[in-house]
Amino acid sequence: MPRILKDFLSRNGTGPGLVMLGLVLFWTVGLIILPQLSMLDFSFRPNLPPPEMGGPKDVYTLENYKYLIYGPEGGSQAYNTVDLMVFFRTLVAAACVTVFNLIICYPIAYYLGQTKGNHIRVFALMLIIPYWINEILRAFALRIIFGETGVLNTIFTGIGLFDTPFDFIRNDYALYAGLGYAYILLMIFPIYNVIESLDHNQIEAARDLGAPWWRIHWRVVIPYAKPGISSGCTMVFMLSAGALAAPQILGGPSSLWFTQLIYQQFNDSSDWPQGAAYAVVLLVTCVLLVLAVMRLFKVNMGDIGK
């Protein structure tokens, strides 16, 4: 038995330790690895009716991946520009939502982590309570707020800022705000957990040495909070790129999300292999982008797990 496993069982007890290991294995293998492998297998299969599955025509093929790039055979365009544009726009929008959330959440996390008092608990509770409501209901609430006759347009037209109601939904403002709001806690609390352990004396020492506030954050707080920032940005980016409910409810006519294409392939077209190929491409691309950014900012995988 490996030493690390012996230490784990001796520390937690043989019975509870085996139960925890079993649950982790079930979660990792049964709910993550095996479904992804099944999806990967589907992505290389042709779209056949059930009686022909497993027959001579059911062979591995790259046609589902070629479709994303080139589109249907005999199409009017050399490349599948529609799906490719939706794919790249989804990635760029998810990155923008991640940066927007980081800019908004970093000051909040810093305030929560470096301020003492009972009012901080109230503040944290006020952040959590809205998330007791289902995500879909929150998305519909935001659609009402950003609608042409919604709260924002009523206020802006009432004070004379707009002559006519502004279409926040068609211009994607509602979608980006909804995605940012949906995952804001996933950015705040990882950063807060790290900043809370930062010795406030380091900040006071930097102030005593005459460092301006921006240099204190750039040289002291942000390097220390890098694990929380990495974890929050990873979760927000991955979930934003894979979101479905918010784009369906808050997206305008021209703001098609790549996950909506995947949904259409699975449900509307009943083309599971094509939908699986699109899902695999999205997953692999997001993982590679996250790894590339981590390498760029010199963040280790262990930092995200802290």
What is the value of pTM for the model shown?
Answer: 0.89
Q: What's the chain's average pLDDT?
A: 87
How do residues 18-64 score in pLDDT, each as one tens digit?
Answer: 888 888 889 899 988 999 999 999 899 988 877 777 777 778 889 99
Neighbours of 159 (CB within 10 A): 8
pLDDT score at 275:
93
- Whether the pLDDT of residue 8 is over 80: the answer is no
Q: How confident is the model at residue 179 (pLDDT cuts 50, 70, 90)?
A: very high
Q: How confident is the model at residue 306 (pLDDT cuts 50, 70, 90)?
A: low
pLDDT score at 254:
74
